[in-house]
Amino acid sequence: MTRRGLLGAAPLAAVAGAGAGGYTAGQGCAPVTPAVSVYPDDPRYQELTVGYNQRWVGSPDYVRLVSSTDQVVRAVQEAVDRGKRLSVVSGGHCLAPFVFNSDVDVVIDLSGLNGVAFDPRRQAFAVEGGARLANVYETLFKKWGVTVPGGMCPTVGIGGHTTGGGYGFLSRQFGAVIDHLEAVEVVVVDRSGTARAVVAGRDPADPHHDLWWASAGGGGGNFGVVTRFWFRTPGTSGTDPGRLLVRPPKDVLLSAVGIPWSALDEAKFTRLVANWGAWYEQHAAPTSPARVLSGVASLAHRSAQNVFLLTQVDATAPGARPKNFPVDVALVADPKATLAALAERLGPGRPVERRAAEPYGDTMMDLFAAELARRAPEGLVVFDEALTSSPALVRHLPPRLPGSYFLTRGGSLGVGIPGAIGIKLARPEAEVVAFTGDGGSMYTIQALWTAVRYGVAARFVICDNRRYQLLDDNLEQYWRERGVASHPHPEGFDLSHPEIDFVRLAKGLGVPAVKVAKPAQVEPAVARMLAEPGPFLVDLVTT
């Protein structure tokens, strides 16, 4: 017999009777609206027959949207009477095809049954079976300062989450969600084929205690439709709701570390996972001071690029903030104005000493950058869009002073030439040199004309390797990470024929220029570039 069969057609023996253990199936805590049936020709049907895992798509006769226990009872009864197989959906985050599959005739959608309230009669928090975690957390916390130690995805439903156990960052400290489950209201089908709601409690004397036990982690949809959960932390008492469930830490620290798959081989991956697991194993005791720290290792598929390690710690726990200092004055202010005022108070900074140039590499870029470092005035501003030539550039001209090194934002190509013009306009006294690629420069080469027209004496160095080399490199890395053998690159990456004559191009736009293709040409070219009264371009052949 399948789970659905058990729920939808077969009689359930152990759950007959209601109202035992002091509980009765009661009124809802969210507004009730008439139930709605959505059939295949309804525009809502498609949306309502697929969940988080879009691999599973249902094809039921209809989806019944409910907002009260009575409506669930009626929906279940109707399905049983017609011999229809039914399933139930709360938040729709089931990763398996338990809800949406071709065997299911009727889906009962609980998303409208989503109230969260304190039930004074039961001295417990009532959460209806279709509430989402975000709503549960927010209501419990904002109204009473309490929580349940559930998972971190806000759109997971309490229905599947609790009936599956439910754990999250606070679980090492406070247990699973079901550890706080006081009672459940469940719509079941008895021996006679009659659907009805019963309440089952944690108290072992409750005649339906076994149904409570089964609902507390026994898996969603196995024993009935849970229309309501009541939560109260065991051992609590009194009438103050704020003391009847656990209270979350006042503050937490979160850390998210992404490790690229490209940085991991089998040995490193094994060590990472083993160390992670070993730490939690060593600190697993319920009394461990480390129970305030919890984490998730998200070992996503290589296509996600990274493995993620997420960690949360109670910020108020001793030692959680070893490097932080108490704040005496909190400011809300405009960052630019505030930082300027602070900088003024601090006085002039101590510039980092200019580093002795590293021994020349033998690339043209090394020679050129080293020569520029030797001759350039203090305060040289570099716009670095050199991309694949950038490592050689910063070897000799490392960023040392604030405002002396600019990069393309977000990886956009073609910003080197106009970027340098902008900087020079803003700071006419500075020596400004842009390094750009041959491919990148072609996006905005016409800006040279603008430099001449407005008398902007910026310098431009085209790192000319006759290819979109960055794309070559990226493609190779992409293939390597996926175990794909290298093969010819797209023809469009090649810029060598016809060869772009940057000197003539620059001259055509009014900018004097030289080509540097041999080491001996480097020194005079750098000297001339720095001596030019107006804009100047160097076509630096780097291959």
Ligand X SMILES: Cc1cc2nc3c(=O)[nH]c(=O)nc-3n(C[C@H](O)[C@H](O)[C@H](O)COP(=O)(O)OP(=O)(O)OC[C@H]3O[C@@H](n4cnc5c(N)ncnc54)[C@H](O)[C@@H]3O)c2cc1C
Give the helix, strand, coil percentages of the chain, each rounded to 5: 35, 20, 45
Measured in degrees and rounded to the nearest 5, phi and psi for residue 242 equal -65, -10
Segment interacting with ligand X (CB under 6 A) among 88-96, 240-248, 269-277, 299-307:
88-96
Return the range that interacts with ligand X (CB under 6 A); candidates 166-174, 231-239, 367-375, 411-419.
166-174
Question: Is residue 181 within 8 Å of residue 229, measured between CB atoms?
Answer: yes
What are the strands, taking DSSP E only, across 209-251? 225-231
Among 58, 91, 207, 241, binds ligand X (CB under 6 A): 91
Q: Of 184-243, which residues contact ligand X (CB under 6 A)?
A: 220-221, 225-226
Note whether 129 binds ligand X by CB under 6 A: yes
Contacts of range 213-217, beta carbons closer than 8 Å, 24 or more positions apart = 215/162, 215/163, 215/181, 215/184, 215/186, 216/162, 216/163, 216/165, 216/178, 216/181, 216/184, 217/163, 217/164, 217/165, 217/176, 217/178
Question: Could you say which residues in the range 52-71 bind ligand X, by CB under 6 A?
Answer: 52
**Contacts with ligand X: how many residues (CB under 6 A)?**
32
Structure tokens at 282: 């060593």
CB closer to ligand X, 52 vs 144? 52
**Which residue, chain included where needed, has tokens 């005739």?**
105
Q: Of the listed pieces 23-31, 92-100, 314-322, 400-408, which binds ligand X according to CB under 6 A?
A: 92-100
Minimum CB distance to ligand X, residue 307 (Å): 17
Q: Does residue 299 bind ligand X (CB under 6 A)?
A: no
| One residue of 56, 167, 230, 536 binding ligand X per CB under 6 A | 167
Q: Decide if residue 137 touches ligand X (CB under 6 A).
A: no
d(Cα 469, Cα 408) in Å, to the nearest integer? 17
Where are the alpha helices (H) located in 19-60, listed in sequence order?
45-48
β 459-464/432-437 pair status: parallel
383 binds ligand X (CB under 6 A): no
Tell me the closest approach of the beta carbon of residue 127 to ligand X, in angstroms.
10
User: Minimum distance from CB of 2 to ligand X (Å)?
Assistant: 12
User: Measured between alpha carbons, how far is 169 from 161 in angstroms, rounded to an integer?
Assistant: 14
What minimum distance in Å lies between the beta carbon of 109 and ligand X? Answer: 9
Interaction between residue 115 and ligand X (CB under 6 A): no
Give the CA radius of gyration of the chain. Answer: 34
Rule CB under 6 A: say whether 164 interacts with ligand X: yes
Contacts of 324 (CB under 8 A, 6+ apart): none
* 163 scored as a contact of ligand X (CB under 6 A): yes
Q: Is 107 in the site for ligand X (CB under 6 A)?
A: no
Q: Which two tokens stand for residue 311?
A: 């960690």
Among positions 138-157, residues that touch ligand X (CB under 6 A) are: 151-153, 156-157
Q: With binding defined as CB under 6 A, does residue 166 bind ligand X? A: yes
Q: How many residues does the chain have?
A: 543
Residue from 28, 92, 115, 241 in contact with ligand X (CB under 6 A): 92
> Which residues make up the interface to ligand X (CB under 6 A)?
51-52, 87-95, 98-99, 110, 129, 151-153, 156-157, 159-161, 163-164, 166-168, 220-221, 225-226
